[in-house]
Structure 1
Amino acid sequence: MNALSFTPLSKWLSFPRTTIYTVFVRCLLVGGLIGLLLGCSRIDPADQQVPAMQRVQEAVDKVRAGLEKDLQKQVPSLNVYVQTPTQTYFASSVPEGRQPITPTTFFRFASVTKNFTATAILKMHQDGWLDYKARIIDLIPGTSLPYVPNTPDWNIPAKNQITIEQLLQHSAGVYDVDNDPVPGLNGESYVNYVLSRDSTHQFTAEEMLKPILDHQLQYFAPSTGYHYSNTGYVMLSRIIERVYSARRGSAKTYADYLYDHITGPTSRVPLPISFPYRANDVQLPQPNVASLLWRTSGRLDSFGRFNMSGHVGEGNGYSSMASLNTYVRSLMQGQNVLQPQMVKLMQTDGSVTRPSYALGTSLFTNLGYGHNGAIAGYLTLMVYDPATEVSLVAMLPFWDLTQGPNGDTSFGKCFNSMYDAAYAARVALGYPGKP
C-alpha cells in the first residue's frame, strides 16, 4: 500500500501537514463550517407536483453532475438516505451504465466510529461501570485497576491530568500520530509511515503511544485547547476494553463490547455494524462498494480491503446506510441504549474552547447532530435533526486529489458535494436546507 501525503484544506482551516489515509476522519471540524460556505435554498412550489422520491433523486443527480463537471472526471456514485417522520427515501446517483448501490450496501464509515465510541462510554457511565468525568489514572469502579495501564508505555505527557471527558471532546492535548507528522518519519504520520511499508502490520494502542513518549509530543495542557485526535479515541477504545474485561473477568476487546451492548443481537437495536481490529480482517461483506481515489500523480486506485487495526475506536467501523440511519435515529430519539438524559449530555457537554463540539457528536446547521468521516476514498455523513425529526446518511465513495496544493482543492469539492447532496435531498422534501 503506497503512502499518500496531503495537506488538507490548508487554505480553509490552516491544518498542519498530515496524511490522506485518515486525515479526513477529522472532517467533523469542517462540518460546522459547511453552513457558512453554502447558500440558501427553497423548494419551488411547482416541484410539489413531482413525486417526492423523484425530487430527491433529481436533487442528488444534479449535485453529482455538478461535481463531475468541476472535476472533469466520472464520479462513481453519490448516495443519500433520508427518513422523515412518515417516509423513507433513498437515492443512489450513478453515471449511465453503472449499477446504483443499495441501502444495504456495506462501506467503511471511518470517523463516524467516534460516535459509537462515545455511546459506549456513556452507556458504561449510565450503567455505573465508569465515570466519564474521571481521570484516566483513576480506578475503575469496584476494582483496583486504573482506566489505563499503570505502565511506562502509557506515561504520555500530562497523563495524570487527562480525563475521559477530555478525550471525548478532543480537549486533552493528546498528540495524533495518525493524522499529524511524527519526528523522524519524513513528514509522515506514524500510522501512514508503517502502513506504507507493511500493509499487514498489526497495530496496538501501546505501539501508537510510543512516538508520543519518545518525542514528548503534546498539543497543549489538558482542557486548555482543542485539537482533533484520533489517538485520543484509540485510548478510549483501550479504556472500554479494560472496563469490560474487568466486569466480565476475562479478556474482552472494544469490538466485543460494541457487539454485546451497542449493535449485536442482544442489544436494544440490533444492527449489522462491525468494528474490525485485526490486521487480517480486511474484507467487507457482500454487497459492498469499493471506493475510488485519484492520487496527486493522476493514478486511479480502488480501496475496499483495508487494514483497520490502527484505527480502533476512532475510524474502524463499517456498515450500510440503512443501518447507520436506524442507529443515529434511534439513538438521538432516546430509543436506543442511551437514556434521553444521556443523549442530551452527548449533544451538549462541549469543551470550553469548542462548546459546539460535545461528546462524540456535533451540531450541523439544518442537518442535526451526528458525525462524519473519511478514509481511503470513502466520505460519510450521519445526522439526526430533532427539530424536524429527519435523519440522514450521505455517502460518496470517491476522492479526487489532483487539483490544488496536495489535492486539497479537488478533495474539498468532493467533501462539499456530499453536504450539498444532503441539503438538496432535504430541500426536495420541503425541509430547511442550506442556511
Structure 2
Amino acid sequence: MRTFLLIGLLPWLFVACSSILQEDHNIPGNQRVQAAIDKVRADLEANLKNQVPSLNVLIQTPAERIFVSSVPAGGTPVTETTHFRFASNTKNFTSTAILNMYEDGWLDIKARITDPIPGTSVPYVPNTPNWDFPFKYAITIEQLLQHSAGVFDVDNDPVPGFNGMSFTEATQNADPTHQFSTDEMVAQLIKNNLFYFEPGTGYHYSNTGYSMLSKIIERVYTTKSGSAKTYGDYLKDYVVGPTALVPVTVHFPIRADDTVLPSPRVEGTVLLPGKVEKYGDYNMSAQVGEGNGYGTMGALNTYIRSLMKGQNVLKPETVKLMQTNVSTANAEYALGTNFRKNLGYGHNGARIGNLALMAYDPQTDVSIVVYLPLWDLTQGNTSFIKCFEALYEAAYAARTTLGYPGKP
C-alpha cells in the first residue's frame, strides 16, 4: 500500500487566478457559477494534460446558496451530501473543541501543557519520561494551536531511521492496519531529539502538534466526565453530533479499523507517472486531531458559516480570539484558522488524493467550500501545486461571478 502524507499547506501559497469576466447578470447565478467552475476545471486539465475527475464548489451569500459540480463528459457529479476526506480542515474543529473547553473553564489556552487541568492535579499531557520531548515544559496550548511551539512533524517530515520517509508513512506502509497513538509519535521526538525551534520563536506547520492537542482534549474530557473518553467522543458530544448546538454530518475516526467511507462517497485520485491510484477506505488513526475528518460539503458549509458568525458552539468573542494571530511569525495563521483576503477565515487540507478548503468572509457574509478529489504527481510537486492552486481559483471565480471581490 502506497501512502501519501498530508502536506502542510503553507499560507503563503497564493493562486495565479485567471481573470474571469462578469457574466450577464440576467443569467441565473447557478448557471454563472457553473460556467466559471467549468472554466477553472478545463484550465486545470490543460495545465496538467490530465483529466480532472471533478471540481466542486458550494457558495452561500446573503441572497442565495449555490452548489455546482464540474465534471468531464461522462463523469459522475459530486453532490452536497457526498462524503469525502477533508483532511486538515480537521484542525479547525480541533481548535473549536479546545476553545469550547476554554469557555467552559475546563482548560486555559495560555497554560503550559505540563500545567494541571483546572481543579485537578492531572497535567494536560502525561508527566512521564516517555513524554519528555524537547521543550515540553515551555510549550503552551495556544502555541500548539498556532504552530508556534516548534514541535517536529513526524507525519510530514523525514524521521531518522525510516529511509527518508516520515514516521507515519513508513509505519503505515509496513502495516496498513497499525493502530497509531500520539505517544509513539512523541517517542520519535525523544529518540531523535527532534524540534524546529524554541517555543514562541517561529512558525512551522505541525500535524504532530495537533496530535498533541487531541491528546489534551482526550485527557481533559476524561478527567471532567469521570470516565474514559476520546477526542472523537468530545467532538461528537459538543461540536458536531446530535447533541451539539449545530449538528453536522461529519465523523473523526480514531481507530485503525474505522476505515470505511460511507456512501455516497468520493475516493481520492492520485496520478503518478504511468499509474493511477484510488484511496477511499483506509486507516486514519495516525491523523487524529489534525486530519482524520470526513464529511460532506453541505456539512462543512453549515459548520464554518455558523461558527464564524458566532452562531455555533463558540461565543462571538471566542470566535474573534480564534481569528486573532498572537504571534508575529505568520500573520495568516491564528488558532486553527487560516485567513485569506476576500475569502475570510477557515482552513484547507490535503490527504491522499483529496484537496479541500472551507472559508467564511465576514465582510460580505459569504461562505464557500471547494473540493477537488485529485493529486496530480506526474510532474512531482509542480503538478500538485497546480491542483492546490485550483482550489483557490475556483473559490475566487465563484465569488467574482456573483459580484463579490475576488483574488486581491
Equivalent residue runs for 1:188-337 within 5 Å? 188-295=165-272, 297-337=273-313
2:370 counterpart (394, 419, 432):
394
2:14 counterpart (31, 34, 39):
34
Percent sequence identity over aligned pairs: 60
Q: SS of the counterpart of 2:375?
A: strand
Unaligned runs of 5+ in 1: 4-19
* Displacement after TM superposition at 1:39 (Å): 5.8
- 1:365 paired to 2:365: no
* Displacement after TM superposition at 1:41 (Å): 4.8
- 2:161 aligns with 184
Q: Deviations over 1:226-270 (max 9, x none)?
A: 111000000000000000000110110000000000001111001
Q: SS of the counterpart of 2:286?
A: coil
* Displacement after TM superposition at 1:40 (Å): 5.6
* Displacement after TM superposition at 1:38 (Å): 3.6
| Aligned equivalents of 1:192, 1:324: Cα separation in 2 | 27
Q: SS of the counterpart of 1:356?
A: coil
- 1:2 aligns with 2
* Displacement after TM superposition at 1:306 (Å): 1.5
| Aligned equivalents of 2:228, 2:334: Cα separation in 1 | 30
> Which residue identity lines up with residue 34 of structure 1 in the other structure?
F
| Aligned equivalents of 1:185, 1:98: Cα separation in 2 | 39
Q: Deviations over 1:303-344 (max 9, x none)?
A: 111210000000000000000000000000000000000000
* Displacement after TM superposition at 1:352 (Å): 2.6
| Aligned equivalents of 2:314, 2:299: Cα separation in 1 | 17
| Aligned equivalents of 2:147, 2:252: Cα separation in 1 | 21
> Which residue identity lines up with residue 293 of structure 1 in the other structure?
V
| Aligned equivalents of 1:116, 1:226: Cα separation in 2 | 20
- 1:15 aligns with none
| Aligned equivalents of 1:229, 1:351: Cα separation in 2 | 16
- 1:378 aligns with 354
| Aligned equivalents of 2:158, 2:376: Cα separation in 1 | 22
Q: SS of the counterpart of 1:383?
A: strand
| Aligned equivalents of 2:21, 2:404: Cα separation in 1 | 8
Tell me the TM-score normalized by structure 1.
0.92
- 2:22 aligns with 43
- 1:340 paired to 2:324: no
- Structure 1 segments of 4+ aligned residues over 6 angstroms from their partners: none
- 2:121 aligns with 144
* Displacement after TM superposition at 1:350 (Å): 3.0
- 1:418 aligns with 391
Q: How many residues align?
A: 408
Q: SS of the counterpart of 1:160?
A: helix
Moved more, 339-348 or 282-291: 282-291
Q: SS of the counterpart of 1:116?
A: helix
| Aligned equivalents of 1:151, 1:355: Cα separation in 2 | 35
Q: SS of the counterpart of 1:49?
A: coil
| Aligned equivalents of 2:91, 2:326: Cα separation in 1 | 15
| Aligned equivalents of 1:203, 1:372: Cα separation in 2 | 23
- 2:101 aligns with 124
Rate the CA distance shift 1:174–1:255 in 2: closer, same or farther, 3 A. same
Tell me the TM-score normalized by structure 2.
0.98
- 1:8 aligns with none
* Native 8 Å contact 2:254 2:288 kept in 1: yes
- 2:5 aligns with 21
| Aligned equivalents of 1:79, 1:39: Cα separation in 2 | 18
* Native 8 Å contact 1:40 1:434 kept in 2: no
* Native 8 Å contact 1:350 1:356 kept in 2: no
* Native 8 Å contact 2:17 2:396 kept in 1: no
Q: Deviations over 1:337-383 (max 9, x none)?
A: 00000000000133231233110001112111000000000000000
| Aligned equivalents of 2:66, 2:342: Cα separation in 1 | 18
Q: Deviations over 1:122-166 (max 9, x none)?
A: 000001000000000000001110000001111000111000000
Q: SS of the counterpart of 1:224?
A: coil
Q: Deviations over 1:202-242 (max 9, x none)?
A: 00110111111001111000001111100000000000000
- 2:45 aligns with 68
> Which residue identity lines up with residue 354 of structure 1 in the other structure?
N
* Native 8 Å contact 1:41 1:434 kept in 2: no
Unaligned runs of 5+ in 2: none
Moved more, 235-244 or 357-366: 357-366
- 1:12 aligns with none
Q: Deviations over 1:48-76 (max 9, x none)?
A: 12111100001000111111111121111
* Native 8 Å contact 2:18 2:393 kept in 1: no
| TM-align CA RMSD | 1.1
> Which residue identity lines up with residue 344 of structure 1 in the other structure?
K
